[in-house]
Structure 1
Amino acid sequence: MSLSDESQPASPSSSASTSSAPSPPTPPNLHQNTVDPAARWLVQKYGGTSVGKFAAKIAEDILPGYLDQHKVAVVCSARSGSTKALGTTNLLLRAASEALQRPNTPTATPGNQTPAAYPWTRQNSLSMSSTSPPGTPQRVNGTRSGSPDFTPISSVPDVKSVAPFTATVDLILSEHVTAARSLIRNEELLKELEQEMERDCEALRSFLFAAQVIHEISSRSKDSIMGVGERLACKLVAAVLRDRGIDSEFVSLENIVPAISDEQEVSFGADGQLEQPFYDALTTVLGDRIRECGSRVPVVTGFFGPVPGSLLRQVGRGYTDLLSALLAVGLEASELQIWKEVDGIFTADPRKVPTARLVPIISPDEAAELTYYGSEVVHPFTMEQVIRRSIPIRIKNVENPTGGGTVIHPTAHIDEPEVPVGTSALAQLPPAVPFLPGTMAPIIVARPPRPPRKSPTAVTIKERIIVLNVNSNRKSVSHGFLARIFGTLDAFGIVVDLISTSEVHVSMAIEDRSERKSVDRLVRELQKLGSVSLHRDMAILSLVGKSMHKMVGIAGRMFSTLAEGGVNIEMISQGASEINISCVIDGRDATKALNLVHRDCLQVGADANQGRGAFVLHFS
């Protein structure tokens, strides 16, 4: 099928270069992926903060420990900035918004084609009159100066007034060039990288100007704009790896999806989302593309558009995690590692609960519940892609690479048979279980040699919640009462986190993401069905554990703890799977409630490891 469902200018990434940047010949003694045919692939995904702050650490302390035993593929998100506002993705979205602003200068007439009407004309004339392209380091007595010496397009007054996004693009370029100069020591490699970055930003500038001319940015155009962030980040990381002696190759996936669509019909579900066969086909193409890198370490963009229906609409801003999962499936990887700035998943947020401890292994269902109710783990759809292929996911800390992290394991069960007393825990490990290099921690988690004390897995809090209460004002409620309520919520695009119902009363907890005016309109619409009350600044407290359905009295202990602590409960809900117990409380009591429940329901003193019935073996 054809993916071209709308007219739009060529994407900024495709204008800049093809699927991968040209790589120089491999110098001798560069560290490469192992050539052992028995070695399996390992996919490592690094977030924007890791790329922004720890690129050198990735190249020096993390990757070298894996290359001799695994074939490693690296996936990178767009680089973060010194502040959230200076993050690459936020800057790209800002530039896209600025491209829709009408220019303040008069439109050029046929007899007066000034450079102001065509920003790229002025930029090209500046570039051609210079002996080196903008952004190239200036040399003083044979050395590179300490500050960037750009000739940004925004410095030309008439061009800046026509294209307000140019200053934002200059800022994106400056942020990346500054980072490159602080990380890369090889002068030739640095020069090549700066030129690559400048070409990408120039292509982005032209793309945005074309969007400004037609005064439209489609959803697919926004996808392409967002993809520039991953291109810049991956080129930077690939250069840093090469500078540190690791043979790397930048891989862009912008042409992957069209290749799939040319061979098969892409179908959508009733909700407008792409169906699983599309992602299954994508895994095969991804695996084939990365294997073409040979022994080089591929550094892969998280962006894999254009996707039918728009990547942002289909997946959202978490598409880099999804790409990592699909790549792990395509390569039949032994493990998917997601590197963050925390040691893994904890029994509670360690920033709010000082006694929180690391959970060494967790089931996918538990991880999905924690993600939904406030803890940023991995999106359930992303987890599903690898878990159904029996590939474990390990959450690791880029600042603590030797730590074991948390494993989301497909076969993590709480209620497996007990280990007999006196049996060695080491004897319980299956034969030939590989140890992850640098951690000496096996993927399989052994049970301690004495019967465990059951407890929930974690407690989490989701703040900024609104509670809506709808009470019917009719003596007899029609069967369509609930249908009309949910039809109204659907019309406003509202997702309900928790719900509690009776014959004439419905209480709903929803996330406070909408503007106040939008919520007020929702309330007015619901008032057609009955009286409505609204409570803002609430929080959802959730106790999660796969074996909680066998813990007699755990709900009573949770609610008694909150009552003794003076925490009022607005709503109570327990899922049909009995994997979590949730309640809605005042947002001002969130941190206090989190500590109280953690202390009384998860804190087990000296026997902390027995609370989960599992521990990770460490060997010295």
Structure 2
Amino acid sequence: MPIRTQSPFAYRKAGIPKAEEEEVEKGRTYLRRTDLRAAYARFHMPKFPPRNSKVLLRSSAHETCCIHYRLPIATHSELHQAYSPSRARLTILRTPWTFNEFIVAHDSLHVTQTWQGNTASGSWIVQKFGGTSIGKFAVNIVEDIIRASLDQHKVVVVCSARSSYSKAEGTTNRLLRAAREAEKQGTKNYEKIVSVIREDHIAAAKGCVKSPDIVEVLIQDINNECNTLLGLLAALQTVEEITTKSEDKIISTGEKLSCRFVAALLRDRGVDSEYVDLAKIIPCKIHGGLSQNFYQDVAKLLADRIRLCGDRVPVVTGYFGVVPGGLLSRVGRGYTDLCAALAAVGLKADELQVWKEVDGIFTADPRKVPTARLLPTITPAEAAELTFYGSEVIHPFTMEQVIRARIPIRIKNVMNPRGKGTIIFPDSAAELDYAVPGHEPNLFRTRSSSLLSQHQRPKRPTAVTIKRQILVMNIHSNKRSLSHGFFAKIFSTLDKWRLSVDLIATSEVHVSMALHSDSAILEGNVDANQLKILDHDLHGAIAELREHGTVDIIPHMAILSLVGRQMKNMIGIAGKMFSTLGENNVNIEMISQGASEINISCVIEERDADRAINILHTNLFQFLE
């Protein structure tokens, strides 16, 4: 196939035998290897093509040669910076190349490669990839998802921090541990943690990126980011204080390393990409908190910055700068989802795609429940409840922003890109109001049959989910009066020690709460009553709560939840749920219903979690169909 240019001055000749290198055929001159060596020296190429490369034809009229070989030459960092397609100096060199074909124009000293980019005439889509997906399937993501999407859409890539094996051993958790170690005086343990992060990313670079030149530049970038992090941690150890702002900067290193890795891998595979650091996207100090106006302003800033990339594919860090109260504290670890949502809103994207390692949202965890089925659609309210109670669908702030803009969210599988996944979108205007806070609520609400007749009564719940690593805390007041003061003291103590409550049950003088933690907060033998509290905040809260009453804790629990639209209208569903658990010897510690229209939850022992979720799925999903 000829290379198409405005002037047909170069032609492709595949597999030229070595013996024909100096022959002339039909007026076309083959370049001798000595000529190629001279050309390479003249253009400061990083390497000469290997002996098994395919030498193409030269047009003597234009002093132009065309080379085709296996290793990219223009991906060398200096050449890429100077000669990427968007910087072509001659119109005749703008051409729809096929992969790994290069044009060397002697008269313009111009080198160019077969780049893909955001050249499609279609609309925008935003693709957000989780840390474990990037850690395990980075090559698949680049080759099968991002590159394939460029044929029809303009693509924005948003990356979480890498996790090579599991979220618990991911970069973000390591960075948090490094921050805690930096608070301790007289120790340099944080340096060891940063060294592990550095080695993990360098190993990923060497294992996935083929071009030695791209690997070299990427390793230099990794070292620069890690050295900057070490300097920050050392400074924080000197001042003996870590603020929310400095904690955010520490955590942001994970997204920076991940995005540099993905951007380099895209260039290695022929996609013209640009690493986009959003750390300074917010121009000045913001007053007034994280209001909707703030999110709208950030969405516009994100869109403006992304459009500056031109035809290059932007690879965007999930961390988008300093915000009031700290991004990690105010939004949580799902701020990368929020960044992707704001980018989608600012660009008016057709779709926000959240890529995970499952085919979408199921009626239960398919790894634990073999009979679980994929849900083609789900409402934002249901998705928010499933996320909160253990399914990790998507951050609720994310849904709020994109649903306001009427942008659908699609959950897809990095291991099955052709699958349709699950779409999150409201079914009606009423559900949109429910999904987006800030609408005018009805002060009084009836539950008459006329209300129920407006909706089709659901036959079964949408999904069942489990949230593990739950600790139940019981507080019994040492006074018999003034319960409102007792509750106020309890909740102010929890707020002071930054403890979040998942479920709560109260009486006049008794409070039971279920708390969750991703990291270990206890150690020891519970049966021998030898438990030791590891978490500093939990230890401080318990000490303060004992001033108001007796405190006891029950570890190793789990929250089991049924989720579905209008659960309160499913007559008998709560009785069926609890009787089914009782018949199968699953003991219930706490029950919660009423806080949400679409959720019934109970606390059970963690050792019964897998058995309980299978029991409910069999009896309340398959049985009712």
The alignment's TM-score, normalised by the length of structure 2, stands at: 0.70
> Structure 1 residues 521, 198: closer, same or farther in 2, change over 3 A?
closer
**Which letter maps to 2:84?**
P
Deviations 1:293-315 (A, max 9, x none): 11211111112223333222222
- Counterpart contact for 1:338–1:395, Cα < 8 Å: yes
Cα gap change, 1:491/1:30 in structure 2, threshold over 3 Å: closer, same or farther? closer
Matched residues in 2 for 1:288 and 1:577: separation?
A: 38
- Give yes or no for contact 2:84–2:113 (8 Å, CA) kept in 1: no
Q: Cα distance 1:359–1:193, how it changes in 2: closer, same or farther (>3 A)?
A: same
Corresponding residue number in structure 1 for 2:502: 497
Higher relative contact order (CA 8 A, sep 6+): 1
Amino acid at match of 1:319: Y
Query: Following the alignment from structure 2 to structure 1, what is the Cα–Cα distance between the partners of residues 409 and 363?
Result: 18
Tell me whether 519-528 or 167-176 shows the greater mean CA deviation.
Answer: 519-528
Aligned to 2:579: 560
* 1:544 alignment counterpart: 563
Q: Secondary structure at the match of 1:63?
A: helix
Q: What amino acid is aligned across from residue 25 of structure 1 in structure 2?
A: S
Cα distance in 2 for residues equivalent to 1:78 and 1:415:
33
Cα drift, residue 166 of structure 1:
4.4
- Number of positions where the alignment pairs a residue of Structure 1 with one of Structure 2: 483
Q: Is the aligned partner of 1:31 residue 2:116?
A: yes
User: SS of the residue aligned with 1:507?
Assistant: strand
Aligned pair 1:176/2:201, yes or no? yes
In the superposition, relative to structure 1, how do residues 569 and 83 fare at CA in structure 2: closer, same or farther (>3 Å)? closer
> Structure 1 residue 167: deviation in Å?
4.5
Quote the Cα distance in structure 1 between the aligned partners of 2:325 and 2:558: 34
Displacement of 1:485 in angstroms is 3.8
Tell me whether 1:220 sits opposite 2:220 in the alignment.
no
What is the aligned partner in structure 2 of residue 297 from structure 1?
A: 313
Q: Is residue 587 of structure 1 aligned with residue 606 of structure 2?
A: yes
Match of 2:414 among 379, 395, 398: 398
Q: State the match for 2:516 in structure 1.
A: 511
Residue 100 to residue 531, structure 1, CA distance change in 2 (3 Å): closer
Are 1:480 and 2:505 an aligned pair?
Answer: no
Aligned to 1:87: 170
**Paired AA for residue 515 in structure 2:** I
Paired residue type of 2:418? T
One-letter amino acid of the counterpart of residue 321, structure 1: D
Q: Secondary structure at the match of 2:390?
A: coil
1:370 aligned onto 2:386? yes
Measure how far apart 1:477 and its partner are. Answer: 5.5
Matched residues in 2 for 1:362 and 1:354: separation? 21
Cα–Cα, structure 1 residues 196 and 502, in superposed 2: closer, same or farther, change >3 Å?
closer
User: Is residue 2:575 matched to residue 1:570?
Assistant: no
Distance between the aligned counterparts of 1:471 and 1:165, measured in 2?
A: 41
Partner of 1:63: 146
Aligned equivalent of 1:229, options 245, 250, 254: 254
Residues 103, 388 of structure 1: alpha-carbon distance in 2 compared, 3 angstrom cutoff? same
CA contact under 8 A between 1:302 and 1:320: conserved in structure 2?
yes
Report the Cα distance in structure 2 between the residues aligned to 1:528 and 1:400, rounded to whole angstroms.
Answer: 55
The CA deviation string for residues 12-62 of structure 1, in whole angstroms up to 9 with x for no partner, is xxxxxxxxx9685233432222342xx221000111112222111112111
Query: In the superposition, relative to structure 1, how do residues 476 and 80 fare at CA in structure 2: closer, same or farther (>3 Å)?
Result: closer
- Paired residues of 2:352 and 2:409 also in contact (CA < 8 A): yes
Letter of the 1:384 partner, please give it. Answer: E
Distance 1:488 1:64 in 2: 51
1:339 is aligned to 2:424: no
Alignment CA distance shift 1:548-1:80 (3 Å): same
Aligned to 2:404: 388
Deviation (angstroms), 1:332 = 0.8
From the CA coordinates, give the structure whose radius of gyration is larger. 2
SS in 2 for 1:323: helix
For residues 228 and 544 of structure 2, the distance between their equivalents in structure 1, rounded to whole angstroms, comes to: 47
Q: 1:193 to 1:22 in 2, by over 3 A?
A: farther
Equivalent residues in 2 for 1:246-261, closer than 5 Å: 246-257=271-282, 259=283, 261=284
- Gap change, CA 1:211 and 1:551, over 3 Å in 2: closer
- What residue in structure 1 maps to residue 222 of structure 2? 197
Equivalent position of 2:445 in the other structure: none
Between 1:567-576 and 1:465-474, the stretch displaced more is 465-474
The alpha carbon displacement at 1:346 in A equals 1.3
Q: Please list the CA deviations of residues 64-85 of structure 1 after superposition, one character each: whole Å capped at 9, or x if unmatched.
A: 3211211110011122235667
Kindly state the Cα deviation for residue 323 of structure 1 after the two structures are TM-superposed.
0.8
What amino acid sits opposite 2:210 in the alignment? R
Q: What is the root-mean-square deviation of aligned Cα atoms in Å?
A: 3.1
> How much has 1:327 moved relative to structure 2?
0.8
Paired letter, 2:300:
T
Return the offset for 1:244: 1.2
CA contact (8 A) 2:466 2:559 kept: yes
Distance in 2 of aligned mates of 1:96 and 1:215: 11
Q: Secondary structure at the match of 1:373?
A: helix
Please say if residues 23 and 249 of structure 1, whose CA atoms lie closer than 8 Å, have aligned partners that are also in contact. Answer: no
Q: 1:392 to 1:23 in 2, by over 3 A?
A: farther
Relative to structure 2, which stretch is displaced further, 570-579 or 328-337? 570-579
Given that residues 391 and 410 in structure 1 are in contact (C-alpha distance below 8 angstroms), is that contact kept between their aligned partners in structure 2? no
| Alignment correspondent of 1:266 | 287
Indicate the residue corresponding to 1:323 in structure 2.
339
- Note if contact 1:388-1:410 (Cα within 8 Å) is conserved in structure 2: no
The one-letter amino acid of 1:497's match is D
Query: How far did residue 355 of structure 1 move?
Result: 1.2
SS at match of 2:325: coil
Distance 1:167 1:589 in 2: 38
Give TM-score, length-normalised by structure 1. Answer: 0.71
Residue-by-residue CA offset, 1:454-495 (whole Å, 9 max, x unaligned): 210011122333334445566665553433443444444433
The 3 A distance-change label for structure 1 pair 394 and 553 is same
Letter of the 2:249 partner, please give it.
Answer: S
Instruction: Name the CA shift for 1:23/1:231 in 2 (closer, same or farther; >3 Å).
Output: farther
Deviation of the 1:567 alpha carbon:
1.8
- Pick aligned residue for 1:283 from 299, 303, 315: 299
Distance 1:588 1:283, change over 3 A: same
Does the CA-based 8 Å contact 2:117-2:313 persist in structure 1? yes
> Percent same amino acid at aligned positions?
55
Kindly provide the amino acid, as one letter, of the partner of residue 299 in structure 1. V
**Aligned partners of 2:356, 2:413: CA distance in 1, in Å?**
5
Counterpart CA distance in 1 for 2:610 and 2:458 is 26
For 1:469 and 1:31, locate their aligned partners in 2 and report how far apart those are by CA, in whole Å.
Answer: 59
CA distance 1:93–1:491, change in 2 (3 Å): closer
Matched letter for residue 237 of structure 1: V
Are the equivalent residues in 2 in contact too, given 1:266–1:278 (CA < 8 A)? no
Give, in whole Å, the separation in 2 of the partners of 1:103 and 1:522: 27
CA 1:332 to 1:528, structure 2 compared with 1: closer, same or farther past 3 Å?
A: same
Aligned-partner SS, 2:314: strand
Q: How do residues 392-541 of structure 1 correspond to structure 2 at under 5 angstroms?
A: 392-411=408-427, 454-471=459-476, 479-511=484-516, 517=533, 522=541, 526=545, 534-541=553-560
